[in-house]
Amino acid sequence: MKKELKAIIVEDEEASRETLKNYLAKYCPEVQLMDIAASVDEGFVAIKKHQPQIVFLDIEMPFGNAFDLLARFEDIDFEIIFVTAYKDYAMKALNLSAAYYILKPIDIDELIFAVNKIRKHINTKDEFLSSKVLLQNIRSANQADKKIVIPQMDGFEVIAIKDIIKGEASDNYTTFYLENGSRYIVSKTLKHFEELLGDFDFLRVHKSWLINKNFIIKYKKGKGGEVILSDGTTAPISPTYKRAFLESFKQL
């Protein structure tokens, strides 16, 4: 099979490097491995030299991490598959940008799936959207400037998190309502976004509602109560979430 995708590995653990190298040779023959780097510095040099289409990037390395490496680039014109042994480490940053990642020990099916998805994007000349958004989020020290990638049937939408008023659950789907009146339906649960957006002033107030507290204009008392949002809509507060909701406003 013709080698379609140029790739490098940036991984500090020798055993992990060899495993990934062997898996790629056996299960992803379309990948042409150009180089292997063992540190942030070596990885930067290898990427500049070989101009790969894919970088398999370990998150935690000596003398720096994956985000330190990415911050050295003015722009990212390659796809990234993050490889990590830490299930929760940096997951929010990766999930916000819809980045690809696989966990150690590497699952062969997950590796094949990630490579195939990236190959599809490259073959259809899609931009390196997830990598670009990730880099923007890394560089932005202001939480208000962070963005999230929302998968859609025909591609992706990049949304400023501060513009989301609320999320509404419907089975395994979430509908986001934006300040400009737009709506986006995503095939992920509200629980997923509750964990992802918890650091951005989002509050779970009901099994069906996740709201941005910055858009709350009034709270009405009751068994659970309800809030009125800036778009004129009302969201009920379940008694289960009432205490946490009120606690979040004590510091104001």
Domains of the chain: 5-138 (3.40.50.2300), 162-247 (2.40.50.1020)
- Over residues 129-136, the mean pLDDT reads 76
pLDDT over 90, % of the chain: 59
Residue 32's pLDDT is what? Answer: 95
Residue 84's pLDDT is what? Answer: 85
Residue 252's pLDDT is what? Answer: 53
Residue 121's pLDDT is what? Answer: 76
Going by pLDDT thresholds of 50, 70 and 90, the confidence category of residue 126 is low
pLDDT of residue 44 exceeding 80: yes
Residue 198's pLDDT is what? Answer: 87
pLDDT of residue 131 exceeding 60: yes
At position 96, the amino acid (one-letter code) is L
Going by pLDDT thresholds of 50, 70 and 90, the confidence category of residue 89 is low
- Over residues 134-160, the mean pLDDT reads 79
The pTM of the full predicted model, rounded to 2 decimals, is 0.77
- Over residues 64-76, the mean pLDDT reads 87
pLDDT of residue 141 exceeding 70: no
Going by pLDDT thresholds of 50, 70 and 90, the confidence category of residue 1 is low
